[in-house]
């Protein structure tokens, strides 16, 4: 089966590509040149192509008409592509990123639909997010406009893309993902966004104190076991969950779903039993060798104190992620198991060992900081 895939250089893309190829599909990957030959860039992401498999790099850009694919390539693709799988996305929460979020997430979806019509692709598969739920308390597996409101432009534009697809293409499937983290065996992940971005701030705090011990004061110190005592307040809600899933499990489920006919369905591909946010944070900061933090009301601090300064810095840096550690909807999850039958298995339990594994990988890459 020939499939055109966007977003192969993103977080989920490389893992999904391997699963699609392993199932005998012939993938055509949309790759921006980025001052580099698309074939070379694709090989950097996926490695060299095994001799028994086919893969093609197609130069283009999701934000452009016809996905920016040159006319000669468009003619060659015509009649050859059965499915388009749109994994490309812009994940940005600030209002200042509204234009690029719209260009990639909404206009990109419109461009995919137009291209499918032009080259005769029958099905369009869209990778979305469970956080189109926004402020709602639950998320059914159907495509509808959010009536409770969104928390940022990412949620809003992903919901808009879902509506656009459902109203303009009959043979579609939408796959909503939660927070994607590293591989179950290696901890590997290409980018350190989402879950990692929140922790990155605290990890770099630790580095700052480690490199400059003169900054330690007012209860901030490193103990004999190497833990940094950092008495700052973290705003996790007491009972809210954080739905994280390993990227390899997600890729496996997506590849199986994509192999099925698109019949206008929506799948929430998430963890059936997500961990509590506070537990996940406790275990995560244990892996980062940070302790002394607390939940609930902020303690009264002396004006101008060092801890007050660090608290303000943390509050500012973590502001985009506060909605996710304070409230998470309950995601309906019946369609994936129903569609896949015996090929479906629930996402494995998020354990302390797994959290430590993915964070050891993140630390080994300094959370992506060059």
Could you report the per-residue pLDDT of 330-352, keeping only the tens digit for each?
999 999 999 999 999 999 999 99
pLDDT in the model for residue 233: 93
Tens of pLDDT, residues 154-186:
999 999 999 999 999 999 999 999 999 999 999
Domain-embedded: residue 72: yes
Domain-embedded: residue 248: yes
Provide the domain limits for residue 287.
195-239+276-326
Residues 355 and 281: their CA atoms lie apart, in Å, by 10
Q: Could you tell me the two tokens for 170?
A: 């009959």
Which residues are 331's β-sheet partners? 139
Does one domain contain both 42 and 165?
yes
CATH code where residue 256 lies? 3.40.50.720
Pairing of strands 83-86, 172-177: unpaired
pLDDT in the model for residue 324: 95
Does one domain contain both 171 and 234?
no
Does one domain contain both 268 and 339?
yes
Does one domain contain both 128 and 20?
yes
Domain-embedded: residue 79: yes
pLDDT in the model for residue 303: 58
Residues of the chain short of pLDDT 50, as ranges, are 51-52
Does one domain contain both 266 and 155?
yes
Among the listed residues 73, 60, 153, 71, the one whose alpha carbon sits nearest the alpha carbon of residue 112: 60
Q: How many domains does the chain have?
A: 2
Contact 87, 30 (CB under 8 A): no
Among the listed residues 188, 193, 113, the one whose alpha carbon sits nearest the alpha carbon of residue 365: 188
Element of type H or E holding 138: strand 138-139
Domain-embedded: residue 353: no
* 109-145 per-residue burial string, b: 16 or more CB within 10 A, e: under 16: bebbbebbeebebebbbbbbbbbbbbebeebebebee
Does one domain contain both 146 and 291?
no
Among the listed residues 146, 165, 142, 166, the one whose alpha carbon sits nearest the alpha carbon of residue 155: 146
Does one domain contain both 161 and 303?
no
Residue 44, CA distances (Å) to 38, 47, 106, 190, 296 in order = 10, 6, 28, 12, 45
């Amino acid at each position: 089966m020939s499939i055109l895939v966007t977003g192969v250089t993103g977080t989920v893309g490389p893992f999904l590509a391997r699963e699609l190829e392993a199932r005998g599909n012939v993938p055509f990957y949309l790759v921006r040149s980025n001052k580099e030959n698309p074939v070379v860039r694709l090989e950097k992401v996926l490695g060299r192509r095994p001799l028994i498999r086919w893969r093609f790099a197609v130069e283009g850009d999701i934000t452009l008409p016809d996905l920016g694919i040159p006319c000669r390539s468009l003619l060659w693709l015509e009649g050859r592509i059965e499915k388009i799988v749109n994994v490309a996305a812009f994940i940005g929460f600030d209002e200042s990123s509204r234009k690029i979020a719209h260009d990639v997430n909404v206009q990109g979806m419109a461009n995919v639909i137009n291209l499918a019509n032009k080259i005769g692709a029958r099905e369009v598969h869209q990778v979305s997010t469970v956080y189109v739920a926004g402020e709602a308390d639950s998320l059914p597996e159907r495509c509808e406009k959010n009536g409770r409101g969104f928390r940022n432009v990412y949620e809003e534009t992903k919901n808009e893309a879902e509506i656009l697809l459902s109203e303009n293409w009959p043979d579609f499937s939408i796959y909503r993902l939660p927070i994607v983290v590293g591989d179950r065996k290696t901890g590997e992940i290409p980018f350190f966004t989402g879950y990692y971005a929140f922790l990155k701030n605290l990890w770099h705090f630790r580095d700052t104190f480690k490199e400059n011990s003169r900054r330690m004061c007012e209860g901030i110190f490193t103990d004999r076991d190497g833990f940094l005592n950092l008495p700052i307040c973290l705003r996790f809600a007491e009972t809210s969950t954080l739905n994280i899933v390993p990227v390899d499990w997600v890729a496996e489920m997506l590849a199986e779903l994509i192999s099925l006919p698109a019949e206008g369905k929506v799948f929430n591909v998430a963890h059936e039993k997500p961990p509590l946010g506070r537990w996940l944070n406790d275990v995560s900061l244990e892996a980062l060798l940070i302790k002394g933090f607390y939940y609930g009301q902020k303690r009264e601090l002396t004006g101008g104190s060092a801890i007050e300064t660090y608290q303000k810095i943390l509050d500012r840096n973590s502001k985009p992620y506060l909605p996710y550690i304070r409230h998470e909807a309950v995601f309906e999850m019946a369609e994936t198991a129903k569609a896949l039958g015996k090929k479906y298995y629930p996402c494995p339990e998020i354990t302390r060992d797994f959290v430590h594994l993915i964070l050891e990988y993140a630390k080994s890459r300094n959370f992506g900081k060059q």
